[in-house]
């Protein structure tokens, strides 16, 4: 990574979980706290942000975005339209890069409120809270390389960041890495319950299921492919092979494919609903 440019200011609109995760990442990446500002309506949250990270937290979003090279939109999707409407004149004047992490809000929906801005959409996941996030980014061809690089750097500070070429890919990403942590937790819950049903003490089953998830995650971060990692645990005719054969016979692969398809479909559906709700009609 090139050294951080100390002249760059990054502003967050919303000081909740995701903003905190990204702020922590940026501080680890070498950004100074004085380069970061947060707009947050709740006084107690502002105090906590200032105390914990040394950043400036303000209630006035216009003051927050003043002079920012990049503004992270980190509020709930339903809070976005009103927030952007209030900032339209400031954005038109200053033209920062807008990095939106608001789930389901398409570039076209965002551009209605700030047509002059380069807009980058990102789909992070909850693992960003522990610096192990998986984020996919999308931008229209109109967004220049410098804006893309800055947006990617902000996202990569909280884990891994990759670009996707089509906006619709973000629905697949939502189904894969966005919702993904829940799938692994569910599997670990079922593993613990199954071990308990076999007679293992509940606490021991929980502890071992949890640690197995953490251990598999750490192994997966290595250079071996997922299939190689699986094969390394599986000896021919052994215990793991017996379990995997049972899973496959029960249609595990098809079930996972159906689950991911359902999540991707729901993501597209929610985005379309939001877009329709925001599209001006002839009556507007
Ligand atoms: N959490 C995840 O795993 C995840 C994953 C992918 C994407 N996302 C997206 O990330 C975004 C943020 O999620 P989050 O989990 O960080 O939510 P969050 O913890 O609720 O944070 C949002 C923060 O923004 C504040 N806020 C509300 N209106 C505001 C305004 N007008 N100006 C400035 N700040 C305002 C909220 O204050 P109040 O509490 O007073 O409303 C809250 O502190 C969402 O759009 C979500 O879709 C989250």
The dihedrals phi and psi of 55, each to the nearest 5 degrees, come to: -85, 165
Instruction: Specify whether 19 is located in the same domain as 53.
Output: yes
Q: If you search the block for the tokens 């996707």, which residue do you land on?
A: 164
Instruction: Specify whether 77 is located in the same domain as 123.
Output: yes
**C-beta 70 within 6 A of ligand 1:** no
pLDDT (tens digit per residue) in 176-212: 999 999 999 999 999 999 999 999 999 999 999 999 9
pLDDT (tens digit per residue) in 117-151: 999 999 999 999 999 999 999 999 989 999 999 99
Instruction: Specify whether 156 is located in the same domain as 35.
Output: yes
Domain span including residue 200: 178-261
18, 56, 116, 250 from 182: Cα distances, Å: 17, 33, 37, 21
The percent of residues in the chain predicted with pLDDT above 90, rounded, is: 91
Classified as helix, coil or strand, 125 is coil
* Pairwise CA distance, residues 27 & 36, whole Å: 9
Is the pLDDT score of 63 beyond 50? yes
Instruction: Specify whether 108 is located in the same domain as 147.
Output: yes
Instruction: Specify whether 160 is located in the same domain as 188.
Output: no
CATH number assigned to the domain comprising residue 34: 3.40.50.720
Average pLDDT of span 5-14: 96
Helix (H) or strand (E) holding 270, with range, is helix 252-278
CATH number assigned to the domain comprising residue 214: 1.10.3730.10
Both structure tokens of 63:
């003051």
**Total domain count for the chain?**
2
Instruction: Specify whether 133 is located in the same domain as 74.
Output: yes
- pTM of the complete model: 0.93
| pLDDT bucket at 84, cuts 50 / 70 / 90 | very high
E strand segments, 143-235:
159-163
Ligand 1, pocket-test mutation among 40, 76, 110, 135, most atoms within 8 A of CB: 76
* Pairwise CA distance, residues 159 & 131, whole Å: 5
Centre of ligand 1 to C-alpha 251, Å, is 38
Is 212:188 a contact under the CB 8 Å cutoff? yes
* Pairwise CA distance, residues 257 & 254, whole Å: 5
Classified as helix, coil or strand, 36 is strand
Beta bridge partners of 161: 135
């Amino acid at each position: 990574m090139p050294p951080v440019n100390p002249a760059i200011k990054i502003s967050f609109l919303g000081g909740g979980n995701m903003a905190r995760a990204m702020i922590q990442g940026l501080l680890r990446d070498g950004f100074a706290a004085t380069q970061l500002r947060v707009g947050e309506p709740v006084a107690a949250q502002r105090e906590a942000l200032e105390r914990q990270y040394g950043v400036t937290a303000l209630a006035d979003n216009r003051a927050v975005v003043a002079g920012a090279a990049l503004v992270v939109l980190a509020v709930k999707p339903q809070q976005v339209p009103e927030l952007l409407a209030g900032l339209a004149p400031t954005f038109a004047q200053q033209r920062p890069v807008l990095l939106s992490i608001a789930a389901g809000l398409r570039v076209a929906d965002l551009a209605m409120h700030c047509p002059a801005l380069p807009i980058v959409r990102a789909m992070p996941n909850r693992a960003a809270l522990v610096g192990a996030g998986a984020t996919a980014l999308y931008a229209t061809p109109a967004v220049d390389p410098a804006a893309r690089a800055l947006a990617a750097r902000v996202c990569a500070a909280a884990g891994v960041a990759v670009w996707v070429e089509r906006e619709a890919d973000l629905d697949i990403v939502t189904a894969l890495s966005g919702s993904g942590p829940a799938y692994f937790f569910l599997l670990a819950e079922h593993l613990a319950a199954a071990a308990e049903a076999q007679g293992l003490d509940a606490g021991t089953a929980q502890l071992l299921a949890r640690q197995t998830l953490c251990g598999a995650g750490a192994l997966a971060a290595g250079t071996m492919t997922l299939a190689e990692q699986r094969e390394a645990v599986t000896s021919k005719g052994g215990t793991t092979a017996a379990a995997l054969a049972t899973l496959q016979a029960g249609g595990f692969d098809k079930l996972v494919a159906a689950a991911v398809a359902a999540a991707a479909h729901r993501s597209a559906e929610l985005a379309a609903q939001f877009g329709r709700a925001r599209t001006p009609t002839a009556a507007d």
